[in-house]
Amino acid sequence: MSKCTWKNCQNEGKYPQIAKNSEQWAFLCDEHDKEIEDGILSPRFNPKRILRNWVLASGGAKEMIKRKKND
């Protein structure tokens, strides 16, 4: 079982999030996959919400920084 990458989530990850370069950047549970989709597809597009969700889905800001340092 793979854990959801959303910060502080212990649920099972089921949905890989794939970047344009075909790399997986997150692996989300049902709840957090829906959160990402709702933010993107909302008729009231909210950039702050999208960015917040992106950071949380990546495991938080510290995890994002660690990954970028390893690139």
Q: What is the pLDDT along the chain (71 residues), one digit of tens a residue?
A: 799 999 999 999 999 999 999 999 999 999 999 999 999 898 888 999 999 999 999 999 999 898 877 76
pLDDT of amino acid 4: 98
- Establish if 54 belongs to a structural domain: yes
Q: The whole model's pTM is what?
A: 0.86
pLDDT of amino acid 71: 67
pLDDT of amino acid 25: 92
pLDDT of amino acid 45: 85
- Establish if 29 belongs to a structural domain: yes
- Establish if 1 belongs to a structural domain: no
DSSP 11: S
- Establish if 5 belongs to a structural domain: no
Q: What distance in Å separates the CA atoms of residue 38 and residue 47, rounded to the nearest whole number?
A: 12
- Establish if 51 belongs to a structural domain: yes
Question: What domain range is 42 assigned to?
Answer: 15-70
- Establish if 39 belongs to a structural domain: yes
- Establish if 32 belongs to a structural domain: yes
Number of domains in the chain: 1
Q: Count CB neighbours of 4 within 10 A.
A: 23
In 3D space, the residue among 16, 5, 18 whose CA is nearest the CA of residue 66 turns out to be: 5
- Establish if 4 belongs to a structural domain: no
* Helical spans, DSSP H, in 17-60: 30-41, 47-57
